[in-house]
Structure 1
């Protein structure tokens, strides 16, 4: 789960940064999963106000307060008592509070990182679905909903996801592209290679493509390439449906290596950390940035202005297709789940707030313009006041469509194989220190050893 913890930190950091600029009942007795018992429901007299205790780490409090204010205005009998945590503290504090029986009504859940550590003290969504619209499931992106359910070890849905993040995507400095005579986002690795050559010729002091060389990010890039062959290939590798030395895997490793051996991606850039790559792009010293969808806030001109980012206009696209006959792909996972603890005595009211946040255009419009998550609500569109240029509008639409299409998940398959074997091996592939065939054989041997079971 190392990557998921890293991305959780990114999500919390991104939410905090975005907040600088976007200011605009029927319940079962036990839930059937052990843990604490469901609290009895408090009676509420006519005209009486109810206060719900809400703990979360995301979105940032400045953004979330707008959501709460809008909800309370629409529901004057319900008040929200918010407590916001940093990402790291939240992963420690929430399980302790739930296990200790603290009275909480709504909790944010880091879907991949926290579901299984807190699920025994949460009410399954099926317990409070009667307090939601009868067609609520059809209103939520099915891939995100499925990922949220499958991450639980008992295959039970405990939260409704606010949205999803995915990788890898490419962000572009429109001014630098125009200066180099580039008029469209690259869609294939050949087009990207041609763009890199143009940038080197016109702007020798600019890094054509900035990206993190950290091992966790390189496996994100690699798996995006792999899933261009088969959108479920990384899932199939981890579940044993496809061998790590299969022809598909060799093809993916070859395409990944070719990105570097061709000079399209510079091996010298492998020394950069994620923050270094972001800073290079944000200061106008890189034409393209290879990042995750969690960086989509940079598409907002208001965000760039508030955060001192000197790039005038930013576009985006999927990672250019690097394999013959391949298709755009991104590995994704649902995030920002909203759940109701067993300790809640106000389930119907808590469900109403979750409905507002995940199933209504009004609620979505209070936090989704941060652009940190691609919202789970089907049909949601970002206002033109947030994405003010055609490049930004088209870029975000491409990111959202690629994520919504559904591919391999991220975070479902917890194993030390990724960090202990794959990550550093991919850096050897990138530097052409090992052939794709030899790398595939090595990976399969390690996988077959039995030392890296799914946890």
Structure 2
């Protein structure tokens, strides 16, 4: 199998504003709609400046196209890009930033990670006001702009895309083989589907529970089925994490393991590449717990290509209803981009940031279906490239669910995210639910809000 570590995402609409027709020339590389005449590149000064960029998105194939387009429009700037999966990226960034170094431009998760690094990032508002003029925020999806501000209200990043959780990617060929004609919408239906799949000797659902980030995604999604919105109140210290809603959430999470919805050993496997490659892409598992970013994996040249399931149609559905309230997606800015306050190449870093968030880079990323565009009016132009109808349909399904998201996906405080993730792993391993939640509450009480 070719193990391409790409992450793909949904296209289309997160808010009604995204249905506006794409405006301006898709080759523009700046916010004001100004660009070099078609087919010509800006004149070069003869000197080339290097700007470093680290992130988990764009993926390898995406970054190649993005960087080629950027360097063609900016021949005075060379981009050195390093990409790692989120866990590796965050470890490398923490060491570098802690030493007062790091890349010129970097990917950021909104919420906890953004707040953690906020004081080390260049304030964006003054730069954007200077470069783009008043009212530039209106060119972005409103909720995306709100999310790239730190807890003190300072804007320290710009949104690249938006994604949602919790979704289930499924192999339709396996579903067809065992006689499953409809995707499950409730937990009971899910268990019935899983039983049919298990009888065929196939693992029902692959889950990478080793990743605390994915466990927290599940907690946020599940808790909104038991008490919509309450997790956000608890995040701000207004409700205790020992509340019955979270007891019920944790018990539902534990049940996913005791009912063997997830594969054996899920706590020891990461989402990427373990659960994805060893189970779903190998054809050993019929379903894979992931986010909306995977909805475009079946595009030609995409992540699915070269795997054992390359010729299997796939689809995607929302996490089934386990609690008393309907299942709803939770959505956030998936990748934000920030400039290192210690960068010696801030002007070049700004040009790359501008290209990716307001210029041609937005269209390139949209066409790869790497998240919903953060810029209003950008429309995907590659939907006709899907080989299977079920994969085209999945895009619409995901768009609809993201548009109706009940709240944000990512919580604001790193220590709280960590505590919830550890508590979920402990509960899945057999720890008492109430004891685990008391530890989360203790951490919550120490959060500086």
- Matched with 1:35 is none
Deviation of 1:234 (Å): 2.6
Aligned 8 A contact 1:140 1:377 in 2: yes
Which has the higher mean CA deviation after the structures are superposed, 163-172 or 56-65? 56-65
Aligned counterparts, 1:30-429, within 5 A: 49=45, 53-58=50-55, 59-60=58-59, 62-71=61-70, 73=72, 75=73, 79-86=76-83, 87=89, 88-93=91-96, 107-112=105-110, 113=113, 116-117=116-117, 119-120=119-120, 122-132=122-132, 134-149=134-149, 152-201=150-199, 203=200, 205-214=201-210, 216=212, 217-261=214-258, 263=259, 265-266=261-262, 268-274=264-270, 275-278=273-276, 279-296=278-295, 298-304=297-303, 306-311=305-310, 312-330=312-330, 332-339=332-339, 347=347, 353-360=352-359, 362-382=360-380, 383-403=382-402, 405=405, 407-415=407-415, 418-419=417-418, 422-427=420-425, 429=427
Aligned 8 A contact 2:164 2:330 in 1: yes
Cα pair distance change 1:339/1:368, threshold 3 Å: farther
Q: Distance in 2 between matches of 1:374 and 1:321?
A: 25
Aligned 8 A contact 2:174 2:286 in 1: yes
Q: Distance in 2 between matches of 1:108 and 1:399?
A: 27
Aligned 8 A contact 1:168 1:331 in 2: no
Cα pair distance change 1:440/1:331, threshold 3 Å: farther
Deviation of 1:206 (Å): 0.2
Deviation of 1:334 (Å): 3.7
Deviation of 1:238 (Å): 2.2
Q: Distance in 2 between matches of 1:428 and 1:153?
A: 29
- Matched with 2:441 is 447
Cα pair distance change 1:269/1:109, threshold 3 Å: closer
Q: Distance in 1 between matches of 2:217 and 2:268?
A: 15
Q: Distance in 1 between matches of 2:444 and 2:192?
A: 44
Matched position secondary structure for 1:14: coil
Aligned 8 A contact 2:164 2:329 in 1: no
Q: Higher Cα Rg: structure 1 or 2?
A: 1
Deviations 1:123-155 (A, max 9, x none): 432333242265432332323322211xx2532
After TM superposition, the score normalised by the length of structure 2 is: 0.73
Unaligned runs of 5+ in 1: 1-11, 17-45
Superposed CA RMSD in Å reads 3.8
Q: Distance in 1 between matches of 2:69 and 2:448?
A: 43
Q: Distance in 2 between matches of 1:48 and 1:268?
A: 58
- Looking at secondary structure, tell me which structure has more helix per residue: 1
Deviations 1:149-187 (A, max 9, x none): 1xx253211221111344322100010011222233323
Cα pair distance change 1:258/1:48, threshold 3 Å: closer
Whose relative contact order is higher, 1 or 2, with alpha carbons under 8 Å and at least 6 apart?
2
